[in-house]
């Protein structure tokens, strides 16, 4: 289980998270929703170990191990993956190189074939594997690249920060199908989204609503239905 307990977090000297607790089990998809600026992205970045997010108090446990003080690289090795809301450009490093290095696989024909298959699955032309990471990519292509990384690196817990934004209708259906498959293989998923279309296309186990740096409501799909009717 990914177990976040009573996190208080400062970013740039300002308190952004105020006592946030969240649990995600293997095979569970948790939708994290809320208005802009409510702390959703900060929560995911803190879980992943972003040094800009200073943990004032609270703990983060991954499968029973306290990872609160570990750097992002060690958290990744233990099974965490973060898909960025705004994926960065990495000039001079190809997408294939990034993924093969991160996965520890050899640069051989089998690995490249596997990469191409996953790229095609997410709707990203395999030629993008030979391009610098996100350089010249459209918004939708960057999000497809993030999902490609999530699939290929095969981590246990996926923190997906608006991975569906900027994606066309056809892409949303594809993304929803992939999320369902990942959930079915036992991945624990936290999905930050503002898009009700993807949430209506995939089985959501729990919904957590954030506002003002706190989780103010949590429950099953009925919480999402209430948000759709009443707003945040």
Q: Which residue is listed with tokens 């095609």?
A: 120
Tokens for 60, please give them.
């983060």
pTM above 0.85, yes or no: yes
Spatial distance between the Cα atoms of 122 and 162, rounded to a whole number of angstroms: 15
Per-residue confidence in pLDDT tens, the chain, 232 aa: 999 999 999 999 999 999 999 999 999 999 999 999 999 999 999 999 999 999 999 999 999 999 999 999 999 999 999 999 889 999 999 999 999 999 988 888 999 999 999 999 999 999 999 999 999 999 889 999 999 999 999 999 999 998 888 777 777 888 889 999 999 999 999 999 887 778 878 889 999 999 999 999 999 888 888 887 887 7
pLDDT for residue 230: 80
Count of domains in the chain?
1
138: phi > 0 → left, psi -120 to 50 → alpha, else beta; which?
Answer: beta
Element containing residue 2 per DSSP (H, E): strand 2-11
Could you list the residue range(s) of the whole structural domain that residue 219 is in?
Answer: 2-230
Pairing of strands 80-83, 29-33: unpaired
Q: How far apart are CA 82 and CA 136, in angstroms?
A: 21
pLDDT in tens, 164-187: 887 777 778 888 899 999 999 999
Within 10 angstroms of residue 230's Cβ, the number of other Cβ atoms is: 7
| Domain CATH code at residue 35 | 3.40.50.300
CA gap 12, 218 in Å, rounded:
28
- List beta partners, residue 81: 158
Please, which residues bridge with residue 7 across strands? 20
């Amino acid at each position: 289980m990914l177990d976040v307990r009573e996190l208080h977090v400062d970013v740039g000297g300002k308190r952004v998270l105020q006592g946030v607790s969240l649990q995600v089990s293997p095979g569970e998809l948790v939708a994290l929703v809320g208005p802009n600026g409510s702390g959703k992205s900060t929560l995911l970045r803190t879980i992943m170990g972003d040094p800009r997010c200073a943990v004032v108090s609270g703990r983060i446990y991954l499968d029973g191990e306290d990872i609160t003080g570990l750097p992002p690289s060690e958290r990744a090795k233990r099974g965490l993956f973060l898909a960025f809301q705004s994926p960065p450009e990495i000039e001079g490093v190809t997408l294939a190189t990034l993924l093969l290095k991160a996965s520890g696989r050899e640069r051989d024909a089998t690995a490249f074939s596997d990469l191409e298959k996953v790229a095609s699955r997410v709707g990203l032309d395999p030629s993008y594997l030979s391009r610098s990471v996100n350089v010249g990519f459209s918004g939708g292509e960057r999000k497809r690249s993030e999902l490609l990384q999530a699939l290929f690196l095969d981590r246990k817990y996926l923190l997906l920060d608006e991975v569906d934004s900027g994606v066309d209708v056809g892409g949303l259906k594809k993304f929803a199908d992939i999320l369902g498959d990942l959930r079915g293989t036992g991945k624990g998923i936290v999905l930050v989204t503002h898009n009700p279309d993807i949430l209506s296309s995939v089985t959501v186990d729990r919904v957590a609503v954030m506002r003002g740096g706190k989780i103010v409501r949590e429950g099953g799909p009925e919480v999402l239905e209430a948000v759709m009717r009443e707003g945040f």
